[in-house]
Chains A and B, each alone.
Chain A
Amino acid sequence: MTKIFEVSLYPYERSPDQDRVSPKRHPVVVIGAGPIGLGLAIDLAQADVPVVVLDENDKVSFGSRAICFAKRPLEILDRLGCGERMVAKGVEWELGKVFFDERQVFEFHLQPESGHQRPAFINLQQYYFEQFMVERVRELQAMGKPIEIRGGNKVVAVGNHPDHTHIEIETPEGPYELEADWLVACDGANSPTRRMLNLDFVGEVFEDNFLIADVVMEADFPTERWFWFDPPFNRGQSALLHKQPDNVWRIDFQIGWDIDREKELKPENIDRRVRAMFGPEVEYELEWSSIYTFQCRLMEKFHHGRVIFAGDSAHLVSPFGARGANSGLQDTDNLGWKLNLILEGKAPVSLLDSYDAERIHGAEENIVNSTRSTDFITPKSQISRVFRDAVLNLAERHAFARPFVNSGRLSVPCSYDGSPLNTPDALEGGPAHTRPGAPCPDVPLGDGYLLPKLGGRFTLLTINADAPDEVEQGGITATRLALSAKDDPSGALAARYLGEAPSAVYLIRPDQHVAARFPEYNDAQVRFAIRRATGKE
């Protein structure tokens, strides 16, 4: 059977832009049709911003790569019109088991807070993830939305000018040029754009290698995440087993720093490892294998004049905790509405400074978290290993030690605390996790869930409070969503949005982060908050 990652999904086609004498100017050009480039393009096209995506390739990600997608990206994908197909295909898991040496030391339930439409996590191969996004692009095209993917278009030079960018592209039929008001580089960890513009990518490489094998097998293991510290089949190292759809299992072997890559990747070597793990009789087929090294790197700024970086091109984290694609989608969620307002002339270009402030904060938080996981999994010193093993030994018998066990932490979105777009919190007694800057937590309502009702525009969420149906300020409209106690059968709305307060009015940004909150509607304050959330105060 041909795998989806072997099929050409957006083959090269000649564009009329290639036959022009002078380069065609587009509002937004995106380099890279990975999950991040596609996410941004879908977001823009849904808002009727014309967007062209260039990719040197014409297929989805080769092999599974990312497999864990957390709740927040799924919520973003709902807004992009492709969350449902991801969740329907994905595998949900709730039980994690941790093994040390030959024994299971404990198991944990991944118990997310109840009352959210989306699960804490799904496992899904990155090639499906990208395929579903490409399908969504095709749907939008059928609806007449202005979105194009150009496969076989390799960007070879980028010029960053004060009011536009200049892009040189190679295709199977020769070179051509384009101009763009805004160029977004979603061209991955080795970002050619970053190199062409001579920009730094500072950070550290962890001196370790991981061998990933995705195997297809009819195993009757339950759908659980199994993590081994120092198991007999991989002494002194760790291993991870995770289930993906279609009976594909991800096995991750830590293999150390001094290795012979070519030898390790030989099928007979992988076979030896798989049989040591599952026993000599195991029947399986190897779908994909790869060796990777962890890196944590960050650009000093994501926004450089008319060129903006998003996803792996801007920041890299180690895979433990599943933060790469997850955080990249949060970049596009943050960037899409800002670019849209700037292109419509409704917000100043300086609004993009908040993209830097907010998303660099997010990337730094991810790097801290994944570095801590990596330090636990691969202790960097003798004493660090002594404590790690002490934690694991204690965890087997005593609950207190279990929270220290760190085999990767669940990726959760960050709050944009201190963002220049936040209006100081005015809701006395309001819950901390819906403070200005925070991503809105979901809530079950009588007829569905809260997040889908927030859509992708400015919303004035009123709870037990009066307000006009719409507030228009400087070309930006905030639409009211009126809720009250009768919409809150579970009490979650009150718990998550009111706390001690009897009523509340929230201004919510198009990316579903809280911009401001008040005890009741005050026209001047809400207008100030809209201006502030759009970079005008």
Chain B
Amino acid sequence: MAKLTLTPNIDLPDDFYAELIEAHDGLTKTESDALNARLVLIFANHIGDRAVLAEAIRVAKEAG
């Protein structure tokens, strides 16, 4: 079974983080929420594996 990656996995993390925040530049709260929802769906489909997705939801809920 595939496993959720919870160790660093993105090259140049500062660049990606800046890119993510910049994507929201100039957006209203409503537009930002919509963008986030689209991103979640795109990421989720890319992952595909239901067990990994369920694990990601669990990890995200626990960290809040």
Contacts and interface: CB of A to CB of B under 8 A. Distances in A.
Main secondary structure of the interface of B (DSSP, over half): helix
In order of increasing CB-CB distance, the 5 nearest A-B pairs are: A390-B37, A400-B45, A390-B38, A386-B37, A387-B37
Contacts of A288: none
B49 interface: no
Interface in A383-412: 383, 386-387, 389-391, 393-394, 400-401, 404
A389 B34 contact: yes
Interface residues of A, number: 11
Contacts of B33: 383, 386
Interface in B41-59: 41-42, 45
Contacts of B38: 390, 393-394
Contacts of A404: 41
Size bracket, chain B contacts: under 10
A158 to B, nearest CB: 48
A383 B37 CA distance: 9
A260 B14 CA distance: 56
B42 A394 contact: yes
Contacts of B45: 400-401
Nearest to B39: A390
B16 to A, nearest CB: 21
Contacts of A394: 38, 41-42
A401 B41 CA distance: 8
18 contacts: A386-B33, A386-B34, A386-B37, A387-B40, A387-B41, A389-B34, A389-B37, A390-B34, A390-B37, A390-B38, A390-B40, A393-B38, A394-B38, A394-B42, A400-B42, A400-B45, A401-B45, A404-B41
A387 B35 CA distance: 10
Q: Quick one: which of A389, A390, A393, A404 has the most chain B CB within 10 A?
A: A390
Interface of A: 383, 386-387, 389-391, 393-394, 400-401, 404
Contacts of A387: 37, 40-41
Contacts of B37: 383, 386-387, 389-390
A391 B34 contact: no
Nearest to B35: A390
A521 B37 CA distance: 56
A394 B36 CA distance: 12
B35 to A, nearest CB: 8
A62 B45 CA distance: 46
Contacts of B41: 387, 390-391, 394, 401, 404
Contacts of A383: 33, 37
Contacts of B40: 387, 390
Contacts of B42: 394, 400
Interface in B9-42: 33-34, 37-38, 40-42
B40 to A, nearest CB: 8
A476 B31 CA distance: 66
Contacts of A400: 42, 45
A393 B41 CA distance: 11
A387 B40 CA distance: 9
Contacts of A391: 41
Nearest to A399: B45
A386 B38 CA distance: 9
Given A386-B37, A391-B41, 20 more contacts: A383-B33, A383-B37, A386-B33, A386-B34, A387-B37, A387-B40, A387-B41, A389-B34, A389-B37, A390-B34, A390-B37, A390-B38, A390-B40, A390-B41, A393-B38, A394-B41, A400-B42, A400-B45, A401-B45, A404-B41
A44 B38 CA distance: 54
B20 to A, nearest CB: 16
B53 to A, nearest CB: 13
Nearest to B46: A400
A386 B34 CA distance: 6
Most chain A CB atoms below 10 A, which of B40, B41, B42 = B41
B18 to A, nearest CB: 23
A401 B40 CA distance: 12
Nearest to B48: A400
A393 B34 CA distance: 10
A386 B40 CA distance: 12
Nearest to B42: A394
Contacts of A393: 34, 38
A392 B45 CA distance: 15
A387 to B, nearest CB: 5
A46 to B, nearest CB: 45
B8 to A, nearest CB: 27
A394 B40 CA distance: 12
B37 to A, nearest CB: 4
A179 B37 CA distance: 61
A403 to B, nearest CB: 10
B2 to A, nearest CB: 18
A391 B44 CA distance: 12
A387 B37 CA distance: 6
A175 B55 CA distance: 65
Nearest to A391: B41
A400 B42 CA distance: 8
